Amino acid sequence: MFDIQENLKKLPDSPGVYIHKDKLGQVIYVGKAISLKNRVRQYFQSSRNMDPKVRAMVSQIEEFEYITTGSEMEALILECNLIKKHMPKYNVLLRDDKTYPYIKVTTEEDFPRIVKTRLVKKDGSKYFGPYSDAGAVNQIVDLLNQVYALKKCSARVFPKGFRPCLNYHIDQCDGICQGTVSPGEYRKKVDHAVDFLRGRTKGILTYLEEQMNQASEALDFERAAEYRDYIMAAKALSEKQRVVLQDTKDVDLILVARGAKQRHVVLFFVRDGKLSGRETYDLQSMEEDSSEDIISAFIKQHYGQSLTLPKEIILEKQPEEKELLEEYLSGIAGHQVHLLAPKKGEKRAVLELAKKDVVEMVKTIDQRAEVRKERAESLGREIYNILSQMGYEEGDYSGRDYRVEAYDISNTNGVDTVGAMVVFEGLKPDKKSYRRFKVRSVEGPNDYGSMQEVLFRRFRRALEGDEGFSVFPDLILIDGGKGHVNAALEMIRGLELDLAVAGMAKDDHHRTRSLVFFKDGSMEEILLKDYPLLYKYMGTVQEEVHRFAIEYHRGLRNKRMLTSVLDEIEGIGPAKRNALLDHFGSVDRIKNATREELREVKGVTEKLAEKIQEYFHC
């Protein structure tokens, strides 16, 4: 048993990070300290002067760990990483930080593309965002691609005879693959698009007006009308610019929006001195958390994963760790970043304007949050009722979100068999917890055996302490009926686990009709028509796990088919196979290539080119 008082005596008087855990070993709080000895001891002194949040947390602490660091800055960075990894319930958390979309400009390519993405990498591309409105992101990407006729395909190499796609034929692409546009001309268009993404609308509007006037002078009034519509769309998509900062170009402004039942962080963007946009972020926080604490936590988590930072961030009030945060942000940005809390002047005017916006925003934010909360609670109650009927819940519904894991098997006549696991926390999929399994021990079309292998590997890794599998589900869903559930239960019980397992039985239209499960040795069925929200939810889960399994299976199958054809040609190993595929893009293009075109690939000799042609054409 962990002796808290004894371990408190061992704490060093040095900077570091401390980690509080509950009786299940789950991390419930991560914090940093200049002196671990002084800071951690404070939690276990008299609770008389503690605020309710800290008192509730301390009552659940069964053990703690600590990691010493060389400086407070190292402690701050480690704290950020551990909070993001464990998502502790008592820390202020930025929710769904991986679900917000970005706009990506692939500037590392000769002919860059503009695309929507939810994955930010240090790959040389430019990223703009994150944005909370995915619909607006789609509109912006479509507008820029249409206005500048940018390349939409991912191909980078265009060998002789490359066929243009449909976008070229409908004038939605200038035909980069046909050599009609030089990289320099194309880059100018991309630069205009990047300016628009930075909030500088003048360039795109000037360009569109010039194109509209040229079309009008050429009596091409239909084309002129299209550019007129583009101008209207560009103006509508760019935020109304109501204030100008004369001496400042790019600034972020952060405020806390306190709704009736929930708090949010609102991030305003000032670009080229103009207030040009805002994004709203939901938070997990306690009522006792001050605005300064929330802002500090948001800055660490939001900018800690950002690739571009402004030189100034405006706040209503400075956080206590101002200097430390500035040093942290400057290290990420590669330039000095300052936190400002202006008391007068134009920056204060911008702050006051933003505060008025936030007051209005709170009204609609609360309404949307209330709807989401009601929906989540309704779903939670329905899952609670299901678990109660299965014998896994007693008493009253606690109001929490349930973790549901769903499994499916995919193969083609027993070949390339894979398993998929998707996870839902309440209403939302938790995609970072999705897992894929390539079935190894089962031969032929054996769904039951494949499912047992997948479940064995998933829960064995959890029992071995693998953090990627450490969280156990409240409910396991199997895509199938009685036989699938029975096979799953055999494996779960074989691992000495007691987990709720139900099968998603389908109707004639391949939709989940009911949940089937074993109770006291007999099969029982719950018809979902009596649970309308759960019926829709189960349909969503079933479609998602099926999609995830199919995508993985197809990827393996296509990879096997592509590589096996080339591997059968004498003289082609992995290196030459990959070189050929990189150069031509597909086996079909290799098949139709001339001997001279094949020779252009590094490592392909005249003799090997002859063998390739003989293989495909003899």
Least confident of 16-25, 208-217, 301-310: 301-310
457, pLDDT greater than 90:
yes
For the segment 273-299, what is each residue's pLDDT rounded down to a tens digit?
666 667 778 777 777 778 888 899 999
The distance of Cα 45 from the centroid of its chain, to the nearest Å, equals 40
More confident residue, 598 or 416: 598
For the segment 163-207, what is each residue's pLDDT rounded down to a tens digit?
788 777 777 787 888 877 888 888 888 988 888 887 777 788 888
Distance, CA of 126 to CA of 209 (rounded, Å): 27
Least confident of 24-38, 47-61, 559-573: 559-573
Most confident of the following: 39-53, 491-505, 531-545: 491-505
129, pLDDT greater than 70:
no
- Which pLDDT score is estimated for 368? 64
566, pLDDT greater than 80:
no
Read off the DSSP letter of residue 470: -
- Which pLDDT score is estimated for 499? 94
CA-CA distances (angstroms) from residue 287 to 48, 92, 144, 381? Answer: 18, 11, 43, 25
Residues comprising the chain, all counted: 618
560, pLDDT greater than 70:
no
Q: Work out the percent of the chain whose per-residue pLDDT is above 70.
A: 90
108, pLDDT greater than 80:
yes
Query: Which residues lie closer than 8 Å to 125 by C-beta, 6 or more apart?
Result: 104, 105, 106, 107, 108
Distance, CA of 316 to CA of 297 (rounded, Å): 15
Distance, CA of 168 to CA of 3 (rounded, Å): 71
- Which pLDDT score is estimated for 130? 64
More confident residue, 318 or 161: 318
98, pLDDT greater than 90:
no
32, pLDDT greater than 90:
yes
146, pLDDT greater than 80:
yes
Least confident of 20-24, 286-290, 438-442, 515-519: 286-290
371, pLDDT greater than 60:
yes
More confident residue, 141 or 358: 141
Tell me which H or E stretch contains 184.
helix 183-197
Tally Cβ neighbours within 10 Å of residue 564: 9
Chain-wide mean pLDDT for the chain?
83
Distance, CA of 546 to CA of 482 (rounded, Å): 18
Q: pLDDT band at 94, cuts 50/70/90?
A: low
Tell me which H or E stretch contains 504.
strand 501-506
- Which pLDDT score is estimated for 275? 63
135, pLDDT greater than 80:
no
488, pLDDT greater than 90:
yes
More confident residue, 72 or 276: 72
Mean pLDDT of 88-113: 78
97, pLDDT greater than 50:
no
Q: Rg of the chain's alpha carbons, rounded to an integer?
A: 29
- Which pLDDT score is estimated for 18? 94
More confident residue, 466 or 578: 466
More confident residue, 120 or 603: 603
For the segment 378-422, what is each residue's pLDDT rounded down to a tens digit?
899 999 999 999 999 888 888 888 999 999 998 877 677 899 999
Helix, strand, coil % over all residues of the chain, rounded to 5: 45, 20, 35
**What 3-state class would DSSP assign to 355?**
helix
Distance, CA of 545 to CA of 477 (rounded, Å): 10
Q: Work out the percent of the chain whose per-residue pLDDT is above 90.
A: 26
- Which pLDDT score is estimated for 244? 47
- Which pLDDT score is estimated for 241? 37
403 forms beta bridges with 425
350, pLDDT greater than 90:
no
